[in-house]
Structure formats: structure tokens, C-alpha cells
Structure 1
Amino acid sequence: MPVPADKRVAIAVYKLSTCAEYRVVAETFGVSKTTVHRCVYGVCEAICQKLLRKYIHLPNEIEAQQIAQRNFEAHGLPQCYGSIDGSHIPIRAPRDGYRDYVNRKGWTSIVLQAVVDDRLIIRDICVGSPGSAHDAAVFATSNLFRHPEKHPQASMEIEGVQVPLLIAGDPAYPLLPWLMKGYSGNNLTEEHTLFNERLSAIRVRVEHTFGHLKARWRILGKMSDIHHDFMPTVVATCCILHNMCEERRQQLPPTAPLLAPPLQQPQDQHRDDPADGAAVEIRQALVNHLFRPH
């Protein structure tokens, strides 16, 4: 008899949430390792094909403005509707090109780049780049960078400057009119320090999101026996399931760590790329807004 659909889903979810080996999952459900493999692959492929666009997409203009308003009320920085960062997912790297997958901490991984909102919902993902890639390099290959016209379009005049809806990033990312990062250096002014603090308060939500994601789906925090070619599909599946859980306000597993995965995450160094003139003007307008009496 074929394995019922609900049991196939249960096998796949159990595998994703426990990171148990194929052998252990097979013994738990009374099936063969081959059956577990087929269930995991089949369920993950179906979830990505049927639910990816429904659960992971950039907000429309109205929703983005609502998110930005909540961020403004909480942190005083206007027009920020999301935050972006990368997280390394452990994999068993192939022999061919093995060194490309070795990250700065010395273990093999692929990079998950994600944009999240203030409620820890993942809005955009780019996954699959080898672990040695810098966050800025991953960003340059993503649809988020290649198709800025698909971003929510709504600007606001701030200190005489038209400021579009923004995504907050860390110093590893380039400064763009729609992607803000803080000031770098050791001798920052009071204004620049305050701007960095406000921007970081928004950006930290992406770190919380990665913590929740890996707490629920432990296959993303440990080296698993999933083939490296299929890991991007597994990661995308976990992101979809994460959004389903967050939308329903499902609590985290009580024994799961909130933030730190078992393997220490590598940190990319900041980049001092040539600044976009419009982006510099927008950032300065935000700084002026923070210090203008309200």
C-alpha cells in the first residue's frame, strides 16, 4: 500500500524539525530509509511549488507603509519596512569545489539571504550561494538587487528630500537609495551614532527571525545527511513553514534555543564601496530628521 499523504507530510516535518538521520526517521515511522528520502524530497518540492509565492513575497505599497509606520512608532526612523541579512546553513559540501563552501569559521555552508519585517515574517529569500561568498556578493546575485522595480514604491518628503521605502542592512551591504546601512568608523558624531542605533534596532529583527527559524527547523542549524544540491529547497521549505507558524503566533519548541545555532555564524566585514549620491542624501535627511525637534 502507498504511504498516506498525511504520513508523508509527518515524516518530512519530523525530519526538518529534528535533523534526525534517515535511519532514525525510518525506524520512528516504521518505513524504509528510501521511503523517508522520497517523502522528504516530495513534500519539500510540493511545498515550494505550491506555497512559495503565497507565503514569501515583498509587501505591496499599502502594507509596506503600515510596516514602516510601526517601525517609526517603535524606533523613530521613518520609511523602513524591512531588514536584510545573511545566515549560513551547514551542508555536506561536494568534493568538487569544496573550498568554495568553507566559510570564515572553517565549516561548510550555503548562504540564506532574507528580508524580514517587524513581525518576523520572511518577505524575500535568496539561498544557495557557497559559504565563502561575501554577503554583498550574494546580494548582487539576488532578484532583490536585480529587480528594484518590484519593490513597494511609495516615497515621503523628509527634510526636503524624497525618501523611498527602505530596507535596513548591516555594514556588509552597499548603500543604495532603497537600502540603508549605518555609518562606519571610530570617530562618529552624536548624530551618526544615534542613526546607527535606530537603524540597528530595526535591523535586529532579521537576527531574531533567523533564531526562530532555526529553533523550529533544526535541520538548518546542524550538519544533516540531505544532499547539498537539495538543501536550497529544504531551506526554502523551512522559510515557508516558518511564516505559517509566525502568522499563527505558534510558540517555539520549549527546549529549543531562541537565537544561537550549534555552529557559530561567520561575520562579514563591512565594505566601503563608492557611495551612491542619492543614497547619501537620503541617509543625511534621515539623520537630520532624527535631530529635528518634533
Structure 2
Amino acid sequence: MHHRTDYIRLRDALSRRQKQRQRLAIKRRQCMIEQWFCLAEGYVPRKQWVTEKSQDWWERIVLRCWEEQDWLECFRMTRETFEHIVCILRPRLERQETSFRQPVSVEKRVAVAIWCLATGSCYRQAKDQFGIGLATVCSAVLEVCYALETELLSKTISLGGEVGAIMDGFAAMGFPHCVGAIDGTHIPICAPGGSPEQYGNRKKFSSILLQGTVDHRGHFIDVEIGWSGKNHDAFVFKNSAICAAMDAGTFIPGNPSLQLGGVTVPPVIISDGAYPLRRWLMKPYGTHGETNAHKHFDRALCRSRNVVERCFGRLKSKWRCLATRLNCREENVVAVVTACTILHNICEEHGHNSLCHMGDPNPVLVPQEEEAGLEPDRSHLEEGKVVREALATFMFANARQ
């Protein structure tokens, strides 16, 4: 009986293999027949080169019918600003036409990227919206982000020659001789495969840190992007380029100083309690404040430093991809976030800094607390205390006049 069962199984297996060979032979014959017809009678055209998609929304509605308010709501900028960006990026994004098909225009590729960054939509929604393939959407977003980083980063995010205007702006807020406010915020990302704990933070999600330094208007003058969210804000700061440049006195042109009661006060940047005190980095006294001058200093610093928190709120309300988990590979995260900060500065420079229907989300800021697990640099700490005391005395004396 067992031999009979084994025989039946073997027969069925041989039968299946024979049928599989027959199907493969039929496919080979069909391929040979198609090739023969191609050689004998000419080219046999394919049924379709690409799947037909609707071009109606972008070409007929957006380009022909949309008004400025429509552009502001969906692209966070006017059409004039959009065309200005396209003009700058065109030499890098232009593609050569071939005999097979026309390339996707630079305007459409830039629009796809800005749409995805602004709305936070997934790539599948964007492909249906613009009538292009999924792979084209993915490549367009990354190409535009890298082009923005290459062409506009140094031109857009910099101190420039506006040091005097920035100092006047912070002085009007109540803090003199200040050139910027610094803080950090978490950018949620998809946990990289194999090591989700590498970017895990105290909030129990994966993120990278965006350390931003802004002027009195909320424009970025420096960004540090890419550190894991598990790092403390003070650690990121001490390893950042702006810290090294300010220590060397090369970040601010001319590095103008101020004499207050025999103390030389360099141009300062203000921060919260999470940052280490330096002669050029002012943080509040907090619980260590004892006098009325110290309390006045803390109030003025808090009022002036609020500009960076409002900047992060506007950044994430405009570029919604930063408010949710970034849908890109680990190696492309920095380019995408950098592109958003560049577009933020461009939009604010052109006056597109308020959208009445959009509420500023609460940015996931790094907690305001003292440095944890970092050995303080005593020389920097003592110099910072001297400068802070001189500023506090000067500000309190001016407020009483």
C-alpha cells in the first residue's frame, strides 16, 4: 500500500514538471514568433509605452485658472516666487529631449517637490494629482531638494551684511547687541531598518535634530541638521559649525564689540537653559537669578528668544512633511529638511509668512533644562557669567531711565 502511494506521488510530480516545461516551451515559441514578425514585417508597436494619466489638474487648472491665493494655500508661495525658484534651478534640472518621449518639464518637477513638502502628501497622491509615474515623483522630490541645497543654501541661509539691522531688531525687542536666537526641534523620521534605537528620543519616536539660529524676523541664519534625536541639545551645539565659528570670531563680519562697565561684550546669541553659557551665548539665570536686574534680564531674553520658537512653528505649519514622519531614506533626510529651511527663508523674504487658515502647530522642541552629562568648560563658563552680568546691569539701568 505504501509503495502504491509513493508511486502516485511520483507520477503527479513528474506530471507537474512536464506541464511546466510545456508552458515554458509555449512561451519561448511565442517569443520566437514575435521576433520573426519583427524581422520579417517590421516593428510591431507595443500596446502602450506608459499608462495613460490625466494631465488636466496641473496644465489646465493650476497653470490657467489659479489665482495668487490658491498658490499660497497649496504651494506656500505666489506663482511669481515659484517661477523665480524654477529659473534658478533650471540649469541643474533641465533634461535633454529624446526621440522616445518628452521629459517632464522643470516647472512640473519643482511643483511636485514643493507640493509634497508643503502638504505632506504621499507620493502616490502626488502621482495621481500631477499625472506622472510614482518613480518620477520620487526622483523629482529628491532632485529638487538636492538642487535647492546646492544652489541656494549658502545664498539664502547666511548672516549676510545685515548685522546692524539684526542688532537693531533685537534691541527693539529689549535685548541689545544680539545677532540671533538659537534652539532645537525634533523632526520625526521613519526608523531605519535594523537599528530603530539609533534615532530614538525621549519622546519614544525616531527623529533627527534641527538646530536653527534665526534673526529678529525669524529667518534662518544658520542650521545644523542630521544629529540623532537621542542626543542632548547641548551636545549638538558643542559639535556644531556655528559654535566653532563664534569661538573663532569668524561668523560675524567685523565681530563688533561693546564696552559695558569695563567688560568687552562681543555680539551675542541668546538661548534657553539647555545650552551652555559662553561669553557670546547668553542663557537665562533661571533659579539662580537673585536681583531685579537678573529677573529683568530673563524676561527680556525670553521675549526676544521667542522668535525662534515662532519660526519653528511657521516652518512646520507651512512644510507639513516636517510635522509627520519623513517618507524618505535615511541618507536623504538632511537634504529634504535643508530644502524646507531654504524655502522657508525664500517665502518669508517675499512676504509669504502668514496664512490665515493655518494654525501654527506646537513644534516638538528640545526641553529647556540644564546640560545633562556634559562636563562644563570652566573658562567659557566664567567668561559667560561676566558678560551676562554686564549685560543684565546695563539693560536694567536703561529700563529704569
Give TM-score, length-normalised by structure 2: 0.69
Deviations 1:45-64 (A, max 9, x none): 1111000000001244xx22
Contact 1:216 1:252 in 2 (8 A): no
Indicate how the Cα distance of structure 1 residues 68 and 265 shifts in structure 2: closer, same or farther if over 3 A, else same.
closer
Indicate how the Cα distance of structure 1 residues 47 and 139 shifts in structure 2: closer, same or farther if over 3 A, else same.
same
SS where residue 171 of structure 1 aligns?
coil
> In the alignment, what sits opposite 1:66?
165
Indicate how the Cα distance of structure 1 residues 201 and 102 shifts in structure 2: closer, same or farther if over 3 A, else same.
same
Q: 2:388 aligns with which of 274, 277, 283?
A: 283
Question: What's the CA shift for 1:93?
Answer: 1.8
Q: 1:240 aligns with which of 342, 345, 368?
A: 342
Residue identity (%): 36
Give TM-score, length-normalised by structure 1: 0.93
Q: 2:112 aligns with which of 1, 8, 11?
A: 11
Indicate how the Cα distance of structure 1 residues 216 and 143 shifts in structure 2: closer, same or farther if over 3 A, else same.
same
Alpha-carbon separation, structure 1, partners of 2:304 and 2:322: 24
Show structure 1 runs of 5+ residues with no match.
none
Q: 2:264 aligns with which of 130, 146, 162?
A: 162
Q: 2:236 aligns with which of 105, 119, 138?
A: 138
Contact 1:21 1:224 in 2 (8 A): no
SS where residue 226 of structure 2 aligns?
strand
Indicate how the Cα distance of structure 1 residues 178 and 96 shifts in structure 2: closer, same or farther if over 3 A, else same.
farther
Q: Which one has the bigger helix percentage?
A: 2
Contact 1:158 1:289 in 2 (8 A): yes
* Equivalent position amino acid for 1:65 in 2: G
Alpha-carbon separation, structure 2, partners of 1:237 and 1:208: 19
Alpha-carbon separation, structure 2, partners of 1:283 and 1:268: 19
Question: What's the CA shift for 1:265?
Answer: 4.2
Question: What's the CA shift for 1:101?
Answer: 1.0
**Larger Rg belongs to:** 2
Map of 1:1-294 to 2, 5 A cutoff?
Answer: 1-60=102-161, 63-75=162-174, 77-148=175-246, 149-152=249-252, 153-185=255-287, 188-261=290-363, 264-271=364-371, 273=376, 274=378, 276-292=381-397, 293-294=400-401
* Equivalent position amino acid for 1:126 in 2: E
Indicate how the Cα distance of structure 1 residues 269 and 157 shifts in structure 2: closer, same or farther if over 3 A, else same.
same
Alpha-carbon separation, structure 1, partners of 2:218 and 2:366: 22
Contact 1:208 1:259 in 2 (8 A): no
Indicate how the Cα distance of structure 1 residues 181 and 187 shifts in structure 2: closer, same or farther if over 3 A, else same.
closer
* RCO comparison, higher one (Cα < 8 Å, 6+): 1
Contact 1:215 1:252 in 2 (8 A): no
Indicate how the Cα distance of structure 1 residues 96 and 139 shifts in structure 2: closer, same or farther if over 3 A, else same.
farther
Alpha-carbon separation, structure 1, partners of 2:224 and 2:312: 14
SS where residue 225 of structure 1 aligns?
coil
SS where residue 230 of structure 1 aligns?
helix
Alpha-carbon separation, structure 2, partners of 1:234 and 1:98: 20
Contact 1:159 1:288 in 2 (8 A): no
